[in-house]
Amino acid sequence: METINSKLINWASILDDKTREQALATARLPFIYPHLALMPDAHLGKGATVGSVIPTLGAIIPAAVGVDIGCGMIAVRTQYALKDLPQDRKRLREDIERVIPLSAGHNNRTVLATAQPRIAELRKLAAKAGFDPGHYVAKWDLQLGSLGSGNHFIEVCVDETDAVWLFLHSGSRGIGNKIAQHHINVARRLAAAKGTVLPDPDLASLDEGTAEFTHYIKELRWAQRFALLNREEMMDRVITQFGRWVGGPVRERERINCHHNFTQQETHYGKSVWVSRKGAIKAEAGDPGLIPGSMGTASYVVEGLGNPVSLNSSPHGAGREYSRNAARRTFSLAELKQAMHGIEFRVTEAFIDEIPAAYKPIDQVMHDAADLVTVRHRLRQIINVKGD
């Protein structure tokens, strides 16, 4: 842990100058209390740094929550061991790719029976919140149960005991992005109208007690619920395909589902604050959590230590060292194939920007997080599914 100043505490041993300056700019905002906590996976983000925990008094910065509201992880530990699995791993990968829409803009053709009660819940929640999700995306209901692209993934993993885990990462898809972008723009317009000078326009905030703040919180909470249910829906489909592949039903030994782009009210250092975790998970003492590495590297099942200086938080992944464009210029498909040796995945140049070398080493991130979480399991991938 490094105290950069009284308003910025840093856990990242790998931290570039631009990311440090971005975090410093956010930490200088007058309503930050008690300080901004920078996680080990911190890297440059939109407005606010990805991998930061941002506590605010009486205001929220929509861009500090992130554009993929409620993005997070879900993992299920099955009763199966590595020795129980068929050899044809490609078949399971293709079966998962068949039942879950992958890539940006790809959605379900119809609302499946498994998704119907979840959609019904979301419709009721939206009505209670007083807004129509269709105002943002006409067919938002067809997005539930779809993965997206970028660093989102579905994996079959095994832990140190060879127990098999099913693991995936996704969020609120296009509907969450549209909601986030709308409120980021509202905050920017309000700041401009008041003549507020900001180091970055995307650090514009909404003041608690205003209509704009209330609308944002209602729609944000809805999007956070959408993201959680989206992961649940996909995991249920993965479990079905895995059971067919392995030749028997899946008995869940454990299920963990956690956000890493969200905000909620918490009490820290004697005051009630809005804690926005942008690329960070809640890690109160005993909280279960998931910290994935990059494509082809280890992931971790963890338990929070409740570190008060970190505002009870921990990293959410490895954190990028290369931008997507820089990664595509730097690395090759041959290098990606080498990094993914022994893992079943769809071989395509579209995934070059997800190569492990484009990210911080996950083991260094976990070393930096030693006073934030304890490791319960270390997972290694055997099957990887991604969207282009």
> Is residue 156 within 8 Å of 164, Cβ to Cβ?
yes
- In sequence order, the 6+-apart residues with CB closer than 8 A to the CB of 231 are 72, 73, 74, 168, 170, 257
Count of CA atoms in the C-beta half-sphere (13 A) of 117: 3
- The tokens describing 108, both together, are 């379900």
> Which residue carries 């070398």 as its tokens?
357
Tokens 């990242």 found at: 12
Strands (E), the chain: 2-5, 8-10, 36-43, 50-56, 59-60, 72-81, 153-158, 163-170, 206-207, 254-259, 261-268, 271-278, 280-282, 288-291, 299-304, 313-315, 373-385
Neighbours of 58 (CB within 10 A): 14
The residue annotated as part of the active site, out of 152, 268, 316, 377, is 316
316 classed as catalytic: yes
Q: How far is CA 76 from the centre of its chain?
A: 17
Which residue from 152, 314, 145 is spatially nearest to 241, judged by alpha carbons? 145
Q: Within 10 A of 105 (CB to CB), how many other CB atoms are there?
A: 12
Q: Are 378 and 314 in contact (CB under 8 A)?
A: no
Residues annotated as part of the active site = 316
